[in-house]
Amino acid sequence: MAASAVYDDDMAVSELVTSSLPMETRFPPFQLRQLGGFWFPEAILPGVTAAHARFEPRPSDVFLASFPKSGTTWMKALAFAVAHRADHPPRSPGHPLRHRNPHDCVKFLEEPLAVDGGMLAALPSPRVIATHLPYSLLPGRVVAGGGSGVRIVYICRDPKDALVSTWLFAKKVVAAAAARDGDDGDDGKPPPPPTTFEEAFELFCDGRCTAGPQWRHVADYWEANQKLPDKVLFLRYEEMLMDPVANVRKLAEFMGCAFSGEEEAAGVARDIVDLCSIDALKNMEVNKNGTQEYVKNESFFRKGVAGDWSNYMTPAMAKRLDMIVEEAVQGRAEATTAGRTEPGGAEDPAPGVAGDPAAPAAEDPAASEAPDAVGAACGSGVAATCGVAKREELGDAVVELGAEDPEGVQRAGESPPRDGCEADRAEVDAGVRCAAPLLSVAVAGEAGA
């Protein structure tokens, strides 16, 4: 079947199933749908379908996973430079990163035409591929427990900084759409007004943002790293800022291309860090004047610092978000020891299980540990990574919050709240993956072809 016909089929499947998924429209620029307990732009769902149905991984593939605005652009540049340094020395004037945006050098798995358009298949090995999908929604052939040889690098960032960066980026995309489309967009309606920071904060705390909830996204990969450290590398944005050279060495070793003694003597790791620094990238002509499909390249480069959230959040807001993350992580740790996950994802497959024979369940060594031990491990890993304050430091500032929606309000035009993917499973044939009805229909159709 021609690529265009396959893409059309994926679009048809997406339109058929998307309408049944919960919708969120209050965080422009993207209209979001809830899939497997996470929120994603409608536009990427055909790409997710294609990835699950037809993506063929290679043993040398390296996946760069991240929650949006958590250092993705920087990580793309670093990993690309590390993987291709033999052909493109970092000091070379003709290095691709000097003439192309990192997002043009490293494509997202879930881009609508990444699989069906042949973009990923045409890349030489080793391929570096990015994704914002959580570990639990990666294709079965990709997950580390599937034995495909694929390596996964995850970078996480303080959720407060991720929120600020997300909001500022969204404002730029909305402004670009307004400038491009004028009063009328593609649907004949004016572009949505930008969300205020206070509105964005409330939605983020509800987990209603692209790839949210952020804390579940991070916990997905943290747990995978704990089970399969040789297959999943967990990096922290803040630690990379403090010692980028050491972290680039760690990245290269994990990717299977550690720096040789000769390269170390020549300072290649430092050259890569210098090439990929925020200042260097933002000052390159392609990133000052080039554009992506929906926004200027310069929009992907801001400050590249840790702690900028303090310029946007009140102390009470910061403590509230810290508490949400801490409670969610602690609850997940306790639930893991009981053989389940937290509310809102109770039926999600465990990391290492993706609903097809290529992804056998991974052993969970933590299952036999005491809840306190697991909670401490997760707290020192995920919660500390996210910059969570200790509970005793919060005092009277702790805000009582519900698990999913503090107000318990069903918004106008929105589907009623549903219990994770249990409701999703009821919409599709039994035996297919509960986390994603869209993917279930696609896989079922592929099997019956």
DSSP 296: B
Name the β-bridge partners of 152: 63, 232
Task: Name the residue among 52, 27, 51, 32 with its Cα closest to residue 42.
Answer: 32
* Sheet with 23-24, side-by-side order of all strands: 23-24, 32-35, 38-41
- CA gyration radius for the chain? 21
Q: Which residues touch 78 (CB under 8 Å, ≥6 apart)?
A: 248, 251, 272, 273, 276
| Distance of alpha carbon 101 from the chain centroid | 19
Tokens matching residue 387: 């910059």
Q: Which residues touch 35 (CB under 8 Å, ≥6 apart)?
A: 21, 45, 48, 137, 435, 436, 438
Give whole-number Cα distances, 43 to 24, 39, 93, 207, 446, in Å.
Answer: 13, 12, 36, 19, 21
Question: Do 28 and 174 touch, CB atoms closer than 8 A?
Answer: yes
The reply to whether 99 belongs to the active site is no
Name the β-bridge partners of 66: 155
Catalytic residue among 52, 84, 95, 132: 132
Task: Name the residue among 198, 189, 193 with its Cα closest to residue 174.
Answer: 193
Separation of first and last alpha carbons in the chain: 11
Active site residue ranges: 132
